[in-house]
Structure formats: structure tokens, C-alpha cells
Amino acid sequence: MTRRQASSTRRGGLSRILHSKSKSSPLLSISLVLFGAILLILYACSGSGVLGGRKDVVSRVEGDFSCTFEVSSAIPVLKNAYGGSMKNVLHVGPESCSVVAKFLREGETEAWGVEPYDIEDADRNCKALVQKGIVRVADIKFPLPYRAKSFSHVIVSDALDYLSPKYLNKSLPELARVSADGIIIFAGYPGQRRAKIAQLSKFGRPAKMRSSTWWQQLFTETSLEENEAAVKKFEQAASKMSYNPACQIFHLNSYH
């Protein structure tokens, strides 16, 4: 008799546990659904920038560092430093459409672009800029399709890092030729990664990050002088606007 009572007691306890779980399962399901919905909302917000998410931050995490995204962030600082002298700008480098579009949206400064590589995967807005002739696809290893001093300033990013010294000695003077008031170069720091494997077919070679000393030597060899006044104004504007660049930024005078 005692053994049967124990068995009966175990069955009763199991029944109560199962009954308790059956009551809590709807609540658990609702909690999981709400948790999933919150995660989806947070993900959507981060992608749209509501939580301060930036495309360049994501790119850095993935190892696909880009100074072009840095240019977009630096535009307000550049305008503050250069003032009204930055009248018409030529951006040279991959994703040039994004930089040109930002300049055009903010007004005041006219902007054009040179995309050194194919744009087969470009969006509709970028292709529209190309069709209008605002952005051109051109290999910067060769002369640019513009007259001398066509632009007040030339901004370069994510392009020179891929060129060997042989081509840099030709491309830099060409950039200086089409600029009237200055050249601004955004270059990666040594140790930074650049370009995914899939991009190597476009660039032809992996990016090579050079030190500021290396760049300064190249500028000397190509008779390009640093614009000390612009450097000072940019540093002051960056400090005032709490801007901390993630790329090396060089301010050079054009040929006169």
C-alpha cells in the first residue's frame, strides 16, 4: 500500500508541474514575441541612423575601411575652414556619387565627381548623376577630362592609396592642374585595412597605407606645398566641432 501511495503522489506532482507549464507557456510565448519585436525595431533604427549608426562604422567593423565616408563627415568642417573659397569642388574616388550628392543637398558649393572604377552596381541616383555629366567615370592614371583650374578645390579619397609611386607622380600633378585653390587628400593610416577581396579586381592591387612622412616626401618630389593656413583653420574648426578624423588629411596648395 505504501508503495502505491508513493506512486500516486509522484503522478500527482508530475500532473501539477505539467499543468503549471501549460499555464505559463502562453505568457512565455508572448514574452518571446515582444522581445523579438524589440530587437527588430532596434535593428531598423540603427540601420536608418536613428541610433547614430553610420555606414562607415559598420564598414570598419567588417574590415572595409573607407576614407570616402570620412569625407562626407568632414564636409561641415571643410566648409568652416575654407569658407567662401570652396566654391566648386571636384571629388575623386570610389563612391564619388555619395560625396557629390551631399555637397549638392547642402547647397552653396557646386560639386562634381570622378569615379575611377565601374559603376555597374551603382544605384539609380548615382547613374542619374553620371548621365547628367556631374559624375564621370575616368581612370586617374591618365589626364583628367577637365581644363586647368576648373575647380576651386579637388578632394581625393580611396584612390591614391591604390596607386604605385609611378602613377602617383603623374596623378598628383594632374589633380593640381585642375584645381585653382587647393587639393585635399584623405589617406589611410598605416595598419588600417582597405577594400574587400571582391574589390581587388577593380583596383588592380591592394591598398598600401603610407605614413605622413612618406606622403610629405612625395609632395616635395611633385613640387606640391602644404597649405599651412588651411591646416591651421581646419584644426581649429575640427576642435570647435568636436571632429576627430579617422584618416590622414593633407591640405596642399595648387600650382600657380
Domain 64-252: which CATH number of 3.90.280.10, 3.40.50.2300, 3.30.360.10, 3.40.50.150? 3.40.50.150
The 10s digit of each residue's pLDDT in 153-190 is: 999 998 999 899 999 999 999 999 999 999 999 999 98
pLDDT at 10: 47
pLDDT classification of 203: cutoffs 50, 70, 90: low
The 10s digit of each residue's pLDDT in 8-54 is: 444 455 445 445 544 556 666 666 666 666 666 554 444 333 333 33
The 10s digit of each residue's pLDDT in 97-144 is: 999 999 999 888 999 999 987 777 778 899 899 999 999 999 888 999
Task: For residues 227 and 89, give the distance between their C-alpha atoms in angstroms, rounded to a whole number.
Answer: 17
Rounded to an integer, the average pLDDT of 214-221 is 96
Residue in this structure with the C-alpha cell 547614430, named with its chain if needed: 52
pLDDT at 6 over 50: no
Residue in this structure with the C-alpha cell 505559463, named with its chain if needed: 24
Task: For residues 248 and 219, give the distance between their C-alpha atoms in angstroms, rounded to a whole number.
Answer: 14
- Domain segments of the chain as ranges: 1-53, 64-252
Task: For residues 157 and 118, give the distance between their C-alpha atoms in angstroms, rounded to a whole number.
Answer: 16
Q: How far is CA 18 from the centre of its chain?
A: 55
